[in-house]
Amino acid sequence: MPDLNSYTFGIESWNDQVTSISISGTYQVTLYENSFFRGRSVRIDSSTANISQILDDQRRYQNWNDRASSLKIEPRRGRSDPDHSNSKQVGTLFSDSSLRGQSLTLYEGQHVRSMSDLDWNDKASSINLNPGYKIEMYADEDFRGASILISGKQTNLNNARNEQGRSEQWNDRMSSFKISKVGQ
């Protein structure tokens, strides 16, 4: 949408009116400060209820509330496989301890900014990761808050073991995560 002034959808104009973004699948939205994709920009790759605190590519917070004048919707950078059909499965999250309950398949390189988008916020109780992979779990959305880096099988996240072997309480606590290979 090169110029949000030209899109009304029930209001006078969408120019400088965007306060939140809902993103489905593996798409990303790039917001631009000016019409026709000019000026400052920020890329958003998951649904965000409040765009007043967006983390940019340099890991700085920016306020984009009511500031977007144009936007692009594109497949997420580095991801042309929305259904993960070409991605390597590297593990599974479980809603109950002992690798039981509902499950969520994890994929190589997967980054999830908001577990709420998957209806999994604060639901993970155990995890089984393939050898050679690790997960960095965060207590808050957008990779913020307390975090823990673990690998392998953790049958009870009440006593999750971090890479230093210390036990931490992570049952029903994860709100975002990143999957990577060990050594990266």
- What is this structure's pTM? 0.56
Mean pLDDT, the chain, integer:
81
Least confident of 24-28, 65-69, 109-113: 24-28
Structure tokens at 174: 């994860």
pLDDT of residue 82: 46
Q: For the chain, where do the domains classified as CATH 2.60.20.10 start and end?
A: 4-75, 89-181
Which of the four CATH numbers 2.60.20.10, 3.40.50.620, 3.40.50.970, 2.40.50.140 does domain 89-181 have? 2.60.20.10
pLDDT of residue 1: 53
Split at pLDDT 50, 70, 90, the class of 131 is: very high
- Sheet of strand 89-96: strand arrangement: 100-107, 89-96, 126-129, 153-154
- Model confidence at 5, pLDDT cuts 50, 70, 90, reads low
pLDDT for 138 equals 95
What is the spatial distance between Cα 151 and Cα 134, in angstroms, rounded to a whole number?
A: 4
Higher pLDDT, 117 or 182: 182
Indicate the length of the chain as a whole number: 184
C-beta neighbour count of 137 within 10 angstroms: 25
Cα 110–27–148 angle (5° rounding)? 25
User: Which pLDDT tens digit goes with each residue over 38-85?
Assistant: 888 888 877 777 888 776 666 677 788 888 888 888 766 544 344 555
Q: 170 vs 27, which has greater pLDDT?
A: 170
Residue 158: what pLDDT?
92
Distance between CA atoms of residues 167 and 151, nearest Å? 13
Provide the residue type at 100 as one letter.
R
CATH class in words for 4-75: mainly beta
3-state secondary structure of 110: coil
To 10 degrees, the CA torsion angle through 150, 154, 157, 159?
-90
